[in-house]
Amino acid sequence: AESSEKHEFQAEVNRLMDIIINSLYTDKQVFLRELISNAADALEKARFHSVQDETFLGDTKDFEVKIEHDADAKTISIIDTGIGMSKADLINNLGTVAKSGTTNFLEAMAEGGDANLIGQFGVGFYSAFLVADKVSVTSKCNDDPVQHVWESSADASFTVVDDPRGNTLGRGTRVTLHLKEDAHDYLSEDKLKESAKKYSQFIQFPIYVKVKKEVDVEAEEDDDDDDKEDEDEEQKDHVETKDEEEKDEEDKKPKKKTVFEWEQVNTQKAIWLRAKEDVTEEEYNEFYKSISKDYLDPLAYTHFNAEGEIEFKSILFLPKKAPFDMMDNYWTKKSEVKLFVRRVLVAEKFDELLPRYLNFVRGVVDSDDLPLNVSREQLQQNKIMKVISKKLVRKVLELMKKLAKDEESGGDDEEEESEEKEEKEEKKEKKDEEGLWTKFWKEFNKNLKMGCYEDDSNRSKLSKLLRFYTTKSEGKEVSLDKYLDRMQESQESIYYMSGDSIETMKKAPSLQIFLKKDLEVLMLPDHLDEPCLQKLADYEGKKFVSIQKADVKLDETEEEKKRFTKIKDMYKPLTDWWKKKLTDLTESGAMKEAGVKVEKVEVSKRLTESPVVVVTSQFGYSAQQEKVMKSQAF
């Protein structure tokens, strides 16, 4: 056609398509998950617009997804009545991708990941090429008077044409896959139905698969009656008759005819509206996967109805694995908890539901108290949102606390005496196994430390969840409560040190006296640790004290004190001389440039083997932390 335009794919898309087309990955059915999920996203958007503007729907009033196959043409089509795409949308959305998404997906694949991951990286559409060597996307949206067809055979280019058939869709999108030889099994009705069912369980819109039915003409009349009843029950099964056959009154043998029916494969009842007792673990897991695009089950979840001044229902999930870009995009990433108002999705990926440090939490919130046509700006100022947010944070922290507690009490159980030998062995095995909290902490500790730094109102709750290496923790990370348990009776402070690694910290001269006195010291290899402790200032009344700074107070006897004063006086000429010498040195050259200043030179109480140690003053960050902060924009 004259209006046909040829476009080159962005280089990243080409690389991506190459990999997908040549993928040896056998579980190809994920393409259906991705395309159904895109259809559902488009429907959510259309529903959202229709709430704001009642003329939006026009003649296309039903929100639905239909899936059909054509055995002769060897195609499958996924058709939705969603928001649709304009010509520009087709070119932008299906021709370019965010570079980071592709790069990260390709990396994950190179590291042995599989195509199942694709949805997480925002490039799910291209999974169509797992099963198809040619894909056509026909789309019509309200913003564009013309319906267009996008088409590509994955040969580095795609075309976009004005649809010569005119506007056949009303509004929405039809994705047609021309199946590759090895994907022809999707032309089987059963296979298609089974896969569609699998991925549509938690979708809020009806998903239909076109099925062929042989019915005898006699029975057809009953069928019609049934249909009426069904319609009353709002079970929309559309019936299309292919070949009308005349009814032969004389023939006793019932005549057969072929009809096509749209069979609904999902139930559409929102899982968060159901009673907790009625939802199985498996259903929670599948629901999580469907909203998160994660391929793993969640680590934990909480399902609750908030009651009181503001009522809402919610399910929140903690993932097993941190997203690949969690810390890179820490400052810009939005919360991905979806906000529904009376079952209509009104917002996702926005800041107001959860504080930044919890942006890995996934889930849904459904409130009847917010207006349906709430705008982004209104969300920002909304008092109801603030209340909801506060409750969500509390629930998430409670869930975390439970995981941490379960893990610790699991440890207590093991210490209990057990009569049966067999049982003992079983428990021992359990002990070696990592608890849920340990697993969670490994993935998300940086977020919780950031939370401890940023969230003034929940800092003390968060402090109970923190875990650190210590000089006595034997390579594990332990809670501050554990540290308190082991504290010496006269000990007033919680000692800590920071450094590049546990190994270098163990060798630090400043640690010697603490080892000698058997005082436990937290060892902090992560640059987020120290800011977090500084914000906390103390834990259960015990101050955090850096052993790498001057003035560390160690409890000592009167005799020790007297002895020390004597030594200090004796060495005064030496320390004075040294101070002057060092000060001269810092007034020129590299030391001056670096801004090094000598505060004082004094006799140390804490060295046992090394002759000298350089320390920073008790105020401000330690030398290690200053080094870190200079090297990166913390």
40 binds, among Mg ion, ligand ADP, none (CB under 5 to 8 A by kind): none
When asked if residue 38 is in the footprint of Mg ion (CB under 5 A), the reply is yes
Closer by beta carbon to ligand ADP, 134 or else 486: 134
Strand-pair category, 300-306 with 312-318 = antiparallel
E strand or H helix that includes residue 364: strand 362-367
Nearest to 314 by CA among 401, 203, 379, 396: 396
Min CB(45)–ligand ADP separation in Å: 8
**Closer residue to ligand ADP (CB): 36 or 365:** 36
DSSP secondary structure string, 475-536?
TS-B-HHHHHHH--TT--EEEEEE-S-HHHHHT-GGGHHHHHTT--EEEE-STTHHHHHHHH
> Does 104 show up as a binding residue in the annotation?
no
Q: Name the residue among 446, 280, 222 with its Cα closest to residue 356.
A: 446
Binding status of residue 172 toward Mg ion by CB under 5 A: no
The entry of ligand ADP, Mg ion, none near residue 42 (CB within 5 to 8 angstroms by kind) is: ligand ADP
- When the beta carbons of 34 and 64 are compared against ligand ADP, the nearer one is 34
Residue with tokens 């494969």: 265
Ligand-binding annotation for 394, yes or no, is: no
Contact partner, 365, from Mg ion, ligand ADP, none, Cβ < 5-8 Å per class? none
Nearer Cβ to Mg ion (294/352): 294
Burial-class residue 279 by CB neighbours within 10 Å (0-12, 13-18, 19+). middle
Q: What stretch of H or E contains 297?
A: none
Count how many residues are written for the chain: 634
Residue 102 and residue 311: Cα distance in Å, rounded? 40
Q: Is 85 annotated as a binding residue?
A: yes
Is 101 annotated to bind a ligand? Reply is yes
- Rounded to 5°, angle at Cα 188 from 183 and 189: 135
Q: Alpha-carbon distance 596 to 53, whole Å?
A: 65
Q: Is 124 annotated as a binding residue?
A: yes
**Contact flag: residue 355 with Mg ion (CB under 5 A):** no
* 124 belongs to the binding site for Mg ion (CB under 5 A): yes
3-state secondary structure (DSSP) of residue 30: helix
38 marked as part of a ligand binding site: yes
Q: Nearest approach, Cβ of 176 to Mg ion (angstroms)?
A: 17
Closest separation in Å from C-beta 64 to ligand ADP: 12
**Which residue lies nearer to ligand ADP by CB, 83 or 400?**
83
- Which of left, alpha, beta for 238 (phi over 0: left; psi -120 to 50: alpha)? beta
Q: Which residue, 136 or 458, has its beta carbon nearer to Mg ion?
A: 136
Question: Does 308 count as an annotated binding residue?
Answer: no
Q: Binding site annotation covers 507?
A: no
Task: Kindly state the tokens that stand for 40.
Answer: 């559902």
Token pair 């960050």: residue: 621
At residue 288, what is the residue type?
Y
- Conformation bin of residue 151: beta by default, left when phi > 0, alpha when psi is -120 to 50: beta
Q: How far is the CB of 31 from Mg ion (least distance, A)?
A: 11
84 labelled ligand-binding: no
- How near is the Cβ of 36 to Mg ion at its closest, in Å? 9
Cα of first residue to Cα of last residue in the chain, in angstroms, is 56
Is 333 annotated among the ligand-binding residues? no
- Is residue 48 annotated as involved in ligand binding? no
Residue 207 C-beta: closest distance to ligand ADP, Å? 13
93 interface partner picked from Mg ion, ligand ADP, none, CB below 5 to 8 A per type:
ligand ADP
Nearer to ligand ADP, 10 or 93 (CB): 93
Q: What is the C-alpha R_g of the chain? A: 33
- Closest approach, Cβ 464 to ligand ADP, in A, equals 37
Residue numbers at the binding site for ligand ADP (CB under 6 A)? 34, 38-39, 41-42, 80, 82-85, 93-94, 122-125, 173
**170 marked ligand binding residue:** no
Choices 36-44, 269-277, 388-396, 578-586; region in contact with Mg ion by CB under 5 A: 36-44
Helix-then-strand count for the chain, H and E: 20, 20
How do 312-318 and 362-367 pair as beta strands? antiparallel
The one of ligand ADP, Mg ion, none whose footprint includes residue 628, by CB under 5 to 8 A per kind, is none
Of the candidates 59, 366, 270, 145, the one whose C-alpha atom is nearest the C-alpha of residue 50 is: 59
Minimum CB distance to ligand ADP smaller for 173 or for 622: 173
Query: Rounded to the nearest whole angstrom, what is the least distance from the CB of residue 291 to Mg ion in the complex?
Result: 12
Task: Kindly indicate which of the ranges 120-128, 252-260, 378-386, 388-396 contains the residues binding Mg ion, using the contact rule CB under 5 A.
Answer: 120-128
**Residue 532 contacts which entry, ligand ADP, Mg ion, none (Cβ below 5-8 A, type-dependent):** none
Contact residues: Mg ion, CB under 5 A:
38, 124
**Which residue ranges make up the annotated binding site for ATP?**
34, 38, 80, 85, 93, 99-101, 120-125, 173, 376
**Which residue ranges make up the annotated binding site?**
34, 38, 80, 85, 93, 99-101, 120-125, 173, 376
